[in-house]
């Protein structure tokens, strides 16, 4: 059986049930349900504080009508963050390494922002295709370029998340293979590579959090243009 | 020690004697609403014991994550065994 480095990205199955389902449901277990007490436990307090401060900061540049999006953007951020971070535990599966999931998140969200803009304020939305202060001669070319950049946005959103996470996981796997292979022969080099592995894991932790944030931030940016 | 005798159907799991276990298990409510009720009770009891306390520590969430890693390992078992048999490290 020809095992490649990409086998970690196929979700394994028991009785035909892929591990993706468990991996997608676990974040909802981590976030507990609302507490009816006035002074809640430490866990809930911490979560509520982070979610509130994140939502406030995210919704600052968006006007009143765009605030309807706050619940979907914050829950998206929480889900992506948890999925990415849980994927760093051993033996787990990261659903966001699959392009299908990320495109399934990116395309509908982007399309919703575009359609909202076109429906409520079509002139302003179409006006975004021509930045202010461009010389008159450049106008036709620039409109074409801006349209292309508009249609590339969902592709970029999905592929960015997929590529970052897949690359990170692959790097961790490669360096750990190197550490294990070098251990019997050249232990010193193996130790050096292990230091690189630790640094890489810290990087992966950061990337997991940052990528979730970037996804949601860009969506809020597209929303801001169109509301 | 001198409790009034509770019918077997209503005893809690930790009070069931080992010989009575199969009959206790057969009497449980296996309808969908019964199963969801059991899952909800388990979730609530874990939440109230380890997380919904005034000074909860990292133990509550750490146990959940460790359980998740163990379940993932079990799910991955076939693939891992085929890697050992195939003689590869990755």
First to last CA, chain A: 54
Instruction: State how far the Cα of A69 lies from the Cα of A227, in Å rounded to an integer.
Output: 11
Q: What is the pLDDT of residues A40-75, one digit of tens each?
A: 788 888 888 999 999 998 888 888 888 888 899 999
Domain boundaries, chain A: 19-226
| A155 pLDDT higher than 90 | yes
E strands, chain A, are 13-14, 17-18
Give B71's contacts in chain A (Cβ within 8 Å): 22
pLDDT at B77 over 50: yes
Chain A positions in Cβ-Cβ contact with residue B72 (cut-off 8 Å) = 19, 22, 89-93
Residue A1: which pLDDT band, with cuts at 50, 70 and 90?
Answer: very low
Structure tokens at A170: 């692959």
Give the Cα separation of B62 and B72 in Å (integer): 15
> Of how many residues is chain A composed?
227
Q: Does A173 touch chain B (CB under 8 A)?
A: yes
How far is it, in rounded angstroms, from Cα B54 to Cα B73? 33
Nearest to A193 by CA among A176, A206, A173, A170: A176
Q: What is the ipTM of this complex?
A: 0.83
Is B78–A173 a contact, with Cβ atoms under 8 angstroms apart?
no
Q: Tell me how far CA of residue A199 lies from CA of A136, A168, A196, in angstroms.
A: 51, 12, 5
Which of B75, B78, B80 would you mutate first to test chain A, the one with the most A CBs within 10 A?
B75
């Amino acid at each position: 059986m020809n095992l490649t480095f990409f086998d970690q990205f196929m979700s394994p199955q028991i009785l035909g049930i892929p591990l993706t389902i468990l991996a997608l449901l676990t974040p909802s277990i981590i976030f507990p349900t609302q507490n009816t007490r006035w002074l809640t436990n430490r866990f809930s307090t911490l979560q509520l504080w982070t979610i509130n401060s994140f939502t406030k900061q995210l919704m600052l540049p968006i006007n009143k009508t765009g605030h309807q999006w706050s619940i979907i953007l914050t829950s998206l951020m929480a889900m992506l963050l948890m999925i990415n971070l849980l994927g760093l535990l051993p033996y787990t599966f990261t659903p966001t390494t699959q392009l299908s999931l990320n495109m399934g998140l990116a395309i509908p969200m982007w399309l919703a922002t575009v359609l909202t803009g076109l429906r409520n304020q079509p002139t302003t939305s179409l006006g975004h295709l021509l930045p202010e202060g461009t010389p008159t001669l450049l106008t036709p070319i620039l409109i074409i370029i801006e349209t292309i950049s508009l249609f590339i946005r969902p592709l970029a959103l999905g592929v960015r998340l997929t590529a970052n996470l897949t690359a990170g996981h692959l790097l961790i796997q490669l360096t750990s293979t190197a550490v294990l292979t070098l251990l019997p022969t050249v232990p010193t080099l193996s130790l050096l590579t292990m230091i690189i592995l630790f640094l890489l894991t810290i990087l992966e932790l950061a990337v997991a959090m940052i990528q979730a944030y970037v996804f949601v931030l860009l969506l809020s940016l597209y929303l801001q243009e169109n509301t | 020690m001198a409790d009034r005798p509770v019918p077997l159907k209503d005893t809690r799991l930790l009070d069931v004697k080992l010989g009575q276990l199969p009959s206790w298990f057969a009497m449980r409510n296996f309808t969908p609403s019964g199963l969801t009720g059991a899952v909800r009770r388990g979730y609530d009891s874990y939440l109230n014991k380890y997380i919904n306390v005034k000074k909860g520590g990292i133990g509550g969430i750490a146990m959940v994550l460790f359980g998740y890693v163990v379940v993932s390992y079990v799910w991955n078992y076939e693939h891992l065994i085929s890697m050992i048999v195939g003689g590869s490290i990755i």
